Structure 1
């Protein structure tokens, strides 16, 4: 019997948790799921000045184990369950200069944020999904998991490669128990942070923002589609992946990079 889908309110009755949901891609994903009818919880270390009042915000530092525990306890106590978990939190703050300038602390901090934070959150929220034999987990990785940029983001690239591998392994374990696990690996996304970076590059190189943007695209080897992604590009695809329309998809990594990676 063919399943019928309600495209207008397809996540009604679902509870979603989006980490890093106050800005950039995380914010776009949270708003996309909210518009599809889900109850949406977002996390970040600090609350931004402007936030959608329909999103339930929890302040927590997920790079620390106690931060994860706080999220798990508060979410379960208030909402009883999580149907959709989007591990969006990630980023790199390491300095440029190659491998020799990176300290143990640079590596450890980056791995805590980009790999161990989602591992811990999955571990905390999977039991209630398994008990109900239903749930979707999305790990937001990066094309740097396959296309590392060595000058300043090598720890980030290594952590995202680990996240991709972990996500695949987790899917093999929990998909038979009713939980779908997927990875989304975006290329360069033009978030507000990326815009500020373009402004800094333009100022330091006495160029325009368009020229600075092109220089970054050139450093990536080019983006065939001709532009970075917008956060909404990623959010729309994630909205599909967590919906009933994608209920046969699990264990797969989806690359959204405008054609950046030059190989299949």
Structure 2
């Protein structure tokens, strides 16, 4: 697929994309930088040989206040301001076993990973956008906010639901100041982590294909017949960050191949 028509649409734009060394975050970083943006991204651990033109990589854990402070300073130093903020960091490390298996620490970890990291960054970087009366914020939520998997990722799903609700309130408050806030809700996206999970399942399922089918079935099925790709999420993010979506604000875009059974 060619995006040549939009190859320079982010020329002169300054973007921060959290979690930009793998999966959806990496795809978004490449998409924005490839279209002319100067991009700052973060990771808890710096991978070897990470070298993308127009991209600055900073080691920071955005789930902690000190990580937020590091990124805010990097925005000032390396970007001199910000036009686009895309919060992609998220995930779950809580144990399976349902609600009663989750401790206080599990809940706090999931909230920091999937909600509070975004809240802290927004709170610190919105003043830059307000000063110039323009900017775009995109939060990556999840379809689990409306389809929670209570056995394995209940705290994650609850945190993502809070992120979507928070984003809607933020969009209403800051739209009059020229700032748009939207969310993306992916379903099953075939990232590197998903591929590793499929490989593990394949040892008991019998094949890679059978493991993938098993995983899709566990999520309620994907009518389109396959998981989404990180590059497809990146293209949606690029559209929402661009002037092509200038009147889109306070919305959530689901990208799940039809998993959510709505009419």
TM-score strictly above 0.5: yes
Correspondence for 1:137 = 137
Deviations 1:54-83, CA, capped at 9 Å, x for gaps: 210010011111110111022112321010
Correspondence for 1:202 = 202
Deviations 1:75-102, CA, capped at 9 Å, x for gaps: 1123210100000000011111111211
Correspondence for 1:232 = 231
Trace 1:1-264 onto structure 2 (pairs within 5 A): 7-54=6-53, 55-203=55-203, 205-264=204-263
Quote the Cα distance in structure 1 between the aligned partners of 2:52 and 2:26: 13
> TM-score normalized by structure 1?
0.95
Quote the Cα distance in structure 2 between the aligned partners of 1:7 and 1:33: 10
Quote the Cα distance in structure 2 between the aligned partners of 1:32 and 1:160: 24
Quote the Cα distance in structure 1 between the aligned partners of 2:213 and 2:193: 17
Give the C-alpha shift of residue 239 in structure 1: 0.8
Q: CA RMSD in A?
A: 1.0
**What stretches of structure 2 of length at least 5 have no aligned partner?**
none
Give the C-alpha shift of residue 209 in structure 1: 1.3
Q: Which stretch of the first structure deviates more once superposed, 166-175 or 98-107? A: 98-107
1:139 aligned counterpart, secondary structure: strand
1:50 aligned counterpart, secondary structure: coil
Quote the Cα distance in structure 1 between the aligned partners of 2:80 and 2:179: 17
1:163 aligned counterpart, secondary structure: helix
Give the C-alpha shift of residue 206 in structure 1: 4.4
Residue 205 of structure 2 contacts residue 211 of structure 2 at CA under 8 Å; is this kept in 1?
no
Give the C-alpha shift of residue 8 in structure 1: 2.6
Quote the Cα distance in structure 1 between the aligned partners of 2:261 and 2:49: 39
1:212 aligned counterpart, secondary structure: helix
Quote the Cα distance in structure 2 between the aligned partners of 1:31 and 1:78: 18
Give the C-alpha shift of residue 32 in structure 1: 0.3
Residue 10 of structure 2 contacts residue 35 of structure 2 at CA under 8 Å; is this kept in 1?
yes
